[in-house]
Amino acid sequence: MNTNHHKPQSKIITFLVGILVAFSLGLAHSAPIPELYEAKMPVIDKSEQERNKALRAALRQVIIKITGRREAVGRSAIAKALEQPDRYIQQFLYQTEKTPSESAELVFWAKFDPGAVSELLRSANLPSWERARPSMLIWLVVKGDKESVLLSTNSHGELSSALRQGAAERGVSIMLPLLDLRDSARIGATDVWNRSRQRILDASERYVPDTILVGRVYSASATGWKAHWELLGAGARLGGWTTYAGEPGGALRKGVHGAADILVNRYAGWGRGVPTDAALTRAQPTVSGIDTIADYARTLRYLEGLQSEAKVYVTRASGNRISFLLSVPGGEAEFARIAKRGTTLAETSSTDGAFIFRLLP
């Protein structure tokens, strides 16, 4: 039944991709994630002094997001660039946004030139963290005077905003649970507070995250909040740490930063040198299991997300298999390493030595 259902769509995919191959080999899909080159900063007013201050802070945040490393801004070349951030700006504007407490706040938004920033990082010998970064599901319990509450997508706006702000500052993708009936049947605040790993893993399955961040936050004193964290990956503990702040949001933002530090240490290409044009090697993967337009779009987005400004070419299509050509640091060996720890592609064996992957559900 499924085979008959997919065959016509596979033929449509082959036809459409064939058109791309015939007419677009001179072009490439290039999709740098805009958010990596953007940053927002709260400002007091629109004065030149305040704008320059916000511009420096925005460029600093963008460099941290792209490299994954907070210490990157300590390089002499970066420190010099932060003195003249206007050299890298592409556009900026002011906008008024509502805070979680519903008050109005003036925000400075800036977008930086990807080419100029990439050149700056090369001159500072700083590698970029590939854009295909591990996703993170967050289970967070807040302990109050009378009860403990699990954070969800639809509750506790200030706290969830703090988590999302921390994620935006580091360029990582986070999820919060729905806490619907299905979740409630599997896990509760006590399970998270006690760090019942199996219950946490079972409840996380539906979200298919690459990593799971477990947090417990409470008021440690009249003037401070404390949060304990544990990061899980593939069911194993990747690290644990504690954060402190004068208010809960600060402790949560620091928690996300701690998780990002672990992820970049574990997954990013630091220590392998900065990828230059010469270090970009061709990879020619063939991906099977592309039965629908949505499958093709998801595969393309994944390949484009392997690095900033990635260029991906379609070279051949047959049935539900499509062959691609792209340039990545480290070539096919690095491509296979990234795919292996992800949840989009799985490498399959081939008798003729072809570089073949299967699109995962």
- Return the minimum-mean-pLDDT range out of 19-28, 98-107, 122-131, 272-281: 19-28
For the stretch 281-308, pLDDT in tens is 778 899 999 888 888 888 888 887 776 5
Residue 355 or residue 191, greater confidence: 191
pLDDT of residue 287: 92
For the stretch 27-47, pLDDT in tens is 344 334 448 999 999 999 999
Report CA-CA distances (Å) from 19 to 7, 304, 342. 19, 20, 30
Contact of 219 with 242, CB cutoff 8 Å? no
pLDDT of residue 26: 38
pLDDT of residue 166: 95
pLDDT of residue 354: 75
Q: H or E stretch including 49?
A: helix 48-67
Contact of 251 with 226, CB cutoff 8 Å? yes
pLDDT of residue 275: 42
Which long-range contacts does 225-228 make (Cβ < 8 Å, 24+ apart)?
225/250, 225/251, 226/251, 227/251, 227/252, 227/254, 227/255
Q: Name the band, by pLDDT with cuts 50, 70 and 90, for residue 131.
A: confident
For the segment 250-272, the average pLDDT, to the nearest whole number, is 84
Distance between CA 98 and CA 117 in Å, rounded?
Answer: 30
pLDDT of residue 129: 83
Distance between CA 117 and CA 66 in Å, rounded?
Answer: 9
List b or e across 150-182, with b for residues whose CB sees 16 or more CB atoms inside 10 angstroms.
bbbeeebeebbbbbbbbbbbbbbebbbbebeee
Residue 187 or residue 34, greater confidence: 187
| Topology of the domain comprising 135-267 | Rossmann fold (3.40.50)
For the segment 73-86, the average pLDDT, to the nearest whole number, is 95
Domain range summary for the chain, segments of one domain joined by +: 2-30+275-359, 34-123, 135-267
pLDDT of residue 177: 95
pLDDT of residue 13: 52
pLDDT of residue 108: 97
Q: Rounded to 5 degrees, what angle do the CA atoms 9, 15, 20 make?
A: 125
Phi–psi pair at 352, nearest 5 degrees: -100, 10
Output the average pLDDT for the chain: 84
